[in-house]
Chain A
């Protein structure tokens, strides 16, 4: 029987040759990811259910990356980091990345890739909805809650319903002004925020396979904004080169069979697409930048697992080089590695860091920061009636802080171009 890549990966994890969409199967988990918001309650449930002296099923397979509330004076947030640290010591977890140490990484989904945890063909569960990001590596990644995560901690297994797949094919050569963010916002506008609920979103086509890994991660990252269980792109030479530069661990590459069954198929020619935003207050509220051009903004925000990778900053720097921002602009690198890369990576003779500083942007320390609002002292948090253009992933009411703020989700090119004018601006005006 023909299968999609998602079916094949889940079949492998269920020790089966074939699994059908709609079946509930028990999966062996390759990696469990957690962070400072969901780790402490997960560990509490684990101890309550398996006993105070219970040991996790496999310490090598548990990855703990604090990233949400890091640079804040909030004492409850600090307490949660202490709880992670304590659990990591008790369980002798080798993959804990402590805050305040040289091991601290930053936003978990980007750090997983950088640290070589993303391996084609594997199954990752994480206590964060954007765990689907890792699907860019031809693997299955999805978000779960604390109870499910505690179950995995004790048993290494979890049940999942095998999803139907939706196929999104992008033909053509990517124009300079178009980014992965525009592609996924295009899709969300077409299918809605529940258009892929309980399904896999599979991406392919010439344009997708021409993208570097970090751009592919932007596509899979926002599968959850369509309600998707996972987003997935089959591994190719680009994937293998990235993975091999990070780890020597074994992996297995799967492809969808030509006759595999899909719930639906969508086909786009990237040459016919243009820069888009998601208007307040929903990621599916798509409009072309041209159609809302001139809308006044009070802030520009470039950061998060979606839009705070080196590739995102390369794009922003192209626009910001030698110019001045007109509104407060936050540059929030996803990880420590990205932060250091800003200082090394050059564009036309200047480092990205110099370009951003000279343009008048504020560069913050790596964490999730204001993508999800966070404690009151979080850098970049929206206040009052802020109108923010942001490279993040969600713009439901209150997401970035203030309930009265409006957030336009956009590509790093659009966020940078809009920062220069203080109004929503099509990046083609600056390229």
Chain B
């Protein structure tokens, strides 16, 4: 795992639920057949009402029409990101679209678990109201060892909450990699 994640920010509001992350009608696609997997990139965050996508300006889609990947790799949001359904398709779609990390004030439990256990994107929490400060398109640099994020566009550094208990699962790349490492996969 890299120690630095750098990329452009995509800023959202609060309570971004899984239907906004990947609308239910697209859940019919396979998560293992490459030609269908790319559809999850195409439709990532397509359920966010247009004025609320890409804040503070709004009306900026996460993935441009006709494309399968996003130019933004770090999502910045308010509280309760990923509330709603248990669909693992949600963090999966963000990963397929090219997202590496999310920085939100808080997460819904199942989404958070899915991010970590599936090794899709790193769900950082922060006490800062970053989605009111960072602008879509700002260049961000996350330092995983230091638990900080630097806004290179404004030269400001913010603190991220340590990942705590789940850091070892994130570092291993998911629950299976972690369980093998720790010898937890024996049956019975």
Contacts and interface: CB of A to CB of B under 8 A. Distances in A.
Interface of A: 24, 26, 37-38, 40-41, 44, 49, 57, 68-69, 74, 76-77, 79-80, 126-129, 131, 143-148, 151, 154-156, 193-194, 197-198, 227, 229, 282, 372-376, 394, 396-399, 401, 403
A166 to B, nearest CB: 14
B2 interface: no
Contacts of A282: 15
B38 to A, nearest CB: 14
A194 B187 contact: no
B174 to A, nearest CB: 7
B28 A375 contact: yes
A260 to B, nearest CB: 21
Contact of B110 (A44, A57, A145, A401): A145
B174 A145 contact: no
Interface stretch (B60-68, B76-84, B153-161): B76-84
B175 interface: yes
B17 interface: yes
B86 A144 contact: yes
A60 to B, nearest CB: 15
B146 to A, nearest CB: 25
A142 to B, nearest CB: 8
A174 to B, nearest CB: 29
A69 B117 CA distance: 26
Interface of B: 15, 17, 19-20, 23-25, 27-32, 36, 47-49, 79-80, 83-89, 91, 106-110, 113-114, 117-118, 165, 174-176, 179, 184-188
Nearest to A378: B25
Contact of A147 (B19, B24, B83, B175): B175
B28 A376 contact: no
A144 B185 contact: no
Contacts of A57: 187
B110 A398 contact: no
A24 B110 contact: no
A402 to B, nearest CB: 10
A128 B184 CA distance: 25
Q: Secondary structure at chain B's binding surface: helix, strand, loop or mixed? A: loop
Given A145-B86, A147-B114, A41 B31 contact: yes
Nearest to B188: A156
A160 B188 CA distance: 18
A152 B173 CA distance: 18
A414 to B, nearest CB: 23
B133 to A, nearest CB: 21
B110 A129 contact: yes
A151 B176 contact: yes
Residue from B20, B25, B176 having most chain A Cβ neighbours under 10 A: B25
A376 B25 contact: yes
A375 B88 CA distance: 18
Nearest to B110: A143
Contacts of B36: 76
B29 to A, nearest CB: 6
A147 B88 CA distance: 8
A220 to B, nearest CB: 16
Contact of B83 (A145, A227, A397): A227
Contacts of B84: 129, 394, 396
11 contacts: A38-B88, A41-B89, A127-B86, A145-B91, A145-B110, A145-B113, A193-B83, A194-B83, A197-B107, A397-B19, A398-B23
Residue from B19, B79, B108, B109 having most chain A Cβ neighbours under 10 A: B109
B117 A145 contact: yes
